Structure 1
Amino acid sequence: MSVHYPRLTEAPTDAQPYVAPSPAEPAPAPTGEPSTWGARHAHDPTVVRADDATYYMFSTDAVANSEDIPAGVHIRTSRDLVTWHFAGTAFDGVPRPARDWSGASGLWAPEVVRWATGAWHMYYSASTFGSNTSAIGLATAPHPSGPWQDRGLVVATRAGVDTQNAIDAAVTFDADGAPWLTYGSFFSGIYTLPLDPASGRPLLEGDLGSLTARRHPSVEGALEGAFIMYRPQEGRYVLFASYDSLFSSYNVRVAVADHITGPYRDIRRLSMTDLEAPPASIGTKILGSHGFDGAAGWLAPGHSSVLSQDGPDGGDEHFLVHHARFAADPSQHIFQLRRLFFNAAGWPVVSPQPYAGREWEVLGAPQPLSGRWQVVRFAPDSTDLVESVPLDLESDSNEPFDGGPAAVRLLADDLDLDAVVFGSWDWSRGAAALSFSGIDRHGVAWCGTKRA
């Protein structure tokens, strides 16, 4: 098998203010010139950081089913998490074992993690749409740029034989540092299994794992793109998963567990394997389709993972990594990265604004928290794009806010939000702004950006 080693170029930090891609102006269809893409045409992304502080984004290559699009896992690089440069592919097409098993013409949803040995492991997916004749393969490299050496299949499922669907891999190191693989899409749900710390393969060869999350057949089991994050602060695991249709109604839900294999329960204590409750009620919805100021918005955000790194204050900072579609042209994808925080109760909350770079999210002066906000409410039973509405909120703090982040309570009539406030970049107005994200007493997520 021939392997294409990406030819990398330096990706300097831009010295200009961030201008978010307008959701009203989607990109043209992908072409064979990926150097022009930037963050567009990225599907199922994940991001890692190398020792030299270069970020690498890996994503699905079968974006447009076009012979002009290179296959073999797309790689982009960045120095600032904002400006992205196409750097090639990890492979020259689909590795033969994965192609022979699945018939795939491209690779989906790569997961890249650094192993305890210092090497990098990539778990990629090979399948065809709507089939669970699928496989997750493993490749290793000394560096995110490669060279990537295929190591064959680690989990494989066959239509008519298995109920699982071996795609959408994610790796978590548990409280003891042991690696686990989580995977699954539609069919019978999400599964988790232990990996051999030495080889990165299943600890028990042929193990398909234990059930972690599922959805009712009445909604076609619409659940995929799972990612598990260990939170030592609470000593528990946070499951992120995408519900509904990747074409139109994707939304991100979360649940927590004391053990990596579950049971995972949402903020209302509903189990992620529950088939009795209404399917839309399960999982705490933290991100869905939305828009601000009457502009065309972002549609179907999903297939998320979490990038964690040292923050400027010495603590951890987290980003939700995902793709979204342009509401003005749902055929087009774009990579997005949003700040991810944890509220006072330890639940994840997500910025309403795509990340702009730290220097462009600094407020010009401290601002009071009380006042007029443009807010979005992510109703769990709705798949519609939510337009922001004005709402006057009061804070339990009278101190002007200089950028944070900080955990606060935000109040309005019967609304009581356990929220985090932080500096952001308001892409609809092109300026730094104060934003919040929080969860109300009913377990519904809200987010917003301040206007006055």
Structure 2
Amino acid sequence: MTPRSSLAATAAALLILTPTPAQAAPAYPDPQPVTGQQIIHDPTVIRLRTGGYVAYSTGGVIGARLSRDRVHWKDSGNAFAEPPAWWYEYNDTGDPWAPDLSHRDGRYWLYYAVSSWGTNHSAIGVATSPSGLPGTWTDHGKVLTSETTDHWNAIDPAVIRADGRLWMTFGSYWTGIRMVELDASTGKAVQDATVHHLATRPDLPYAVEGPYIVRHGRYYYLFASYDACCSGVDSTYKIRVGRSTSVKGPYADSTGTPMLEGGGDLLLEGHGRFVGTGGQSVFKDRGEDWLAYHYYDAEDDGTPKLGLNRLSWKADGWPVVR
């Protein structure tokens, strides 16, 4: 063996014997710094046509926050002065969950859910407003309901227009994420609406909820919260995403794994003080997409707070949080 071949053999042996360093965990950006009233859960945010921003959330009678610059937020009461009477059919306190805010046909539309923890005796309702501001909403009653005999849970609504039709995604546990068509004039489910199935997990308790669909390029992107919320610093919420060329699916992640088989690319998860990131929605601001979500602040006893990050798109079309 020549000295050169001996050296090469030694180097090869060292490569075999040297342990491979563990792959670094992905680095996630911290949320944009915000000030003022930061406490929020399941935020939906929109830039108002008159300027400034409004955010609605779980808590209160759909809690409201206002901002002029997307940085400083102030508590602005609630969407409603008091719960509509029919809410009490679904819980004793008239407590609404997970609102979704949008604008179409010259009005703002606010979808929300009423239910109780651990049951799918639930309903999704809708209200409209000319301005989108708290205190200006008119409730229009039930959009869709579910009962304990159903295989889905009518909570966590989100609405999208696609191909000239209006669709609402919803779902939490109970076999996951579903979608129905809405009547664009009433905002309610069409008669005898087909309940499409978009995403689930392979085993009980099917821990996926909070769907939100966005169109970008030729694809529809389904964002959803996986695992457990609502346990402060013990929360394991994270945001995953899949895409489809049809709003009705099938949705799959970048490896081709269907979301109906537990697929979904990991977009954002807890890191550092920012625990249990989820309850997400997406809004447009001056041509840019923004991701709104809540996290549990590990440096403030697990208090749920507002997370905002810009959502950009890679060359292959997949979203990334900035």
Q: 1:243 to 1:19 in 2, by over 3 A?
A: closer
Q: What's 1:173 paired with?
A: 161
Note the alpha carbon deviations across 1:208-229, whole angstroms, 9 max, x for none: 62111111234x1100011000
Note the alpha carbon deviations across 1:100-158, whole angstroms, 9 max, x for none: 2444531111111112x201111111011111111101111111115111111111111
Alignment: residue pair count: 287
Contact 2:33–2:71 at 8 Å: present in 1 too?
Answer: no
For 1:79 and 1:114, locate their aligned partners in 2 and report how far apart those are by CA, in whole Å: 19
Q: 1:208 to 1:98 in 2, by over 3 A?
A: farther
Q: 1:209 to 1:330 in 2, by over 3 A?
A: farther
For 1:213 and 1:104, locate their aligned partners in 2 and report how far apart those are by CA, in whole Å: 31
For 2:125 and 2:112, locate their aligned partners in 1 and report how far apart those are by CA, in whole Å: 5
The SS at the match of 1:273 is: helix
| Structure 1 stretches lacking a partner, 5+ long | 1-17, 22-36, 62-70, 292-296, 311-315, 352-452
After the TM superposition, list the runs of 4 or more consecutive aligned residues in structure 1 that deviate by more than 6 angstroms.
none
- Aligned 1:80-229 pairs, distance under 5 A: 80-115=69-104, 117-145=105-133, 146-159=135-148, 161-174=149-162, 176-205=163-192, 207=193, 209-218=195-204, 220-229=205-214
Aligned partner letter, 2:186: S
Q: What's 2:306 paired with?
A: 335
The SS at the match of 2:89 is: helix
Contact 2:297–2:303 at 8 Å: present in 1 too?
Answer: yes
For 1:105 and 1:98, locate their aligned partners in 2 and report how far apart those are by CA, in whole Å: 5
| CA positional deviation for 1:251 | 0.5
Q: 1:109 to 1:208 in 2, by over 3 A?
A: farther
The CA RMSD measured in Å over matched residues stands at 1.8
For 1:251 and 1:180, locate their aligned partners in 2 and report how far apart those are by CA, in whole Å: 24
For 1:124 and 1:346, locate their aligned partners in 2 and report how far apart those are by CA, in whole Å: 30
For 1:100 and 1:41, locate their aligned partners in 2 and report how far apart those are by CA, in whole Å: 28
| Structure 2 stretches lacking a partner, 5+ long | 1-30
For 1:104 and 1:256, locate their aligned partners in 2 and report how far apart those are by CA, in whole Å: 38
- Aligned 1:31-110 pairs, distance under 5 A: 38-61=36-59, 71-110=60-99
Q: What's 2:271 paired with?
A: 290
For 2:276 and 2:32, locate their aligned partners in 1 and report how far apart those are by CA, in whole Å: 21
Note the alpha carbon deviations across 1:16-65, whole angstroms, 9 max, x for none: xx9947xxxxxxxxxxxxxxx9343200001011122110000111xxxx
Contact 1:256–1:265 at 8 Å: present in 2 too?
Answer: yes
Contact 2:53–2:68 at 8 Å: present in 1 too?
Answer: yes
Greater relative CO, 1 or 2 (CA 8 Å, sep 6+): 2
Find 2:222's aligned residue among 208, 231, 239.
Answer: 239
Contact 1:103–1:127 at 8 Å: present in 2 too?
Answer: no
Note the alpha carbon deviations across 1:277-319, whole angstroms, 9 max, x for none: xx5xx2100100112xxxxx21011011111132xxxxx2111
- Work out the percentage of aligned pairs sharing the same amino acid: 36
The SS at the match of 1:245 is: coil
Contact 1:138–1:151 at 8 Å: present in 2 too?
Answer: yes
The SS at the match of 2:88 is: helix
Q: What's 2:281 paired with?
A: 305
For 2:307 and 2:194, locate their aligned partners in 1 and report how far apart those are by CA, in whole Å: 31
Normalised to the residue count of structure 2, the TM-score between the two structures is 0.85
Q: 1:138 to 1:208 in 2, by over 3 A?
A: farther
Find 1:252's aligned residue among 227, 239, 249.
Answer: 239
For 1:102 and 1:203, locate their aligned partners in 2 and report how far apart those are by CA, in whole Å: 26
Contact 2:56–2:62 at 8 Å: present in 1 too?
Answer: yes
| CA positional deviation for 1:331 | 3.4
Aligned partner letter, 1:187: W
Aligned partner letter, 2:83: V
The SS at the match of 1:86 is: strand
For 1:101 and 1:84, locate their aligned partners in 2 and report how far apart those are by CA, in whole Å: 31
- Aligned 1:347-358 pairs, distance under 5 A: 347-351=318-322
| CA positional deviation for 1:329 | 4.5
Aligned partner letter, 1:190: I
The SS at the match of 1:93 is: coil
Aligned partner letter, 1:306: V
Q: What's 1:379 paired with?
A: none
Between structure 1 and structure 2, the one with the greater Rg is: 2
Q: 1:19 to 1:321 in 2, by over 3 A?
A: closer
Normalised to the residue count of structure 1, the TM-score between the two structures is 0.61
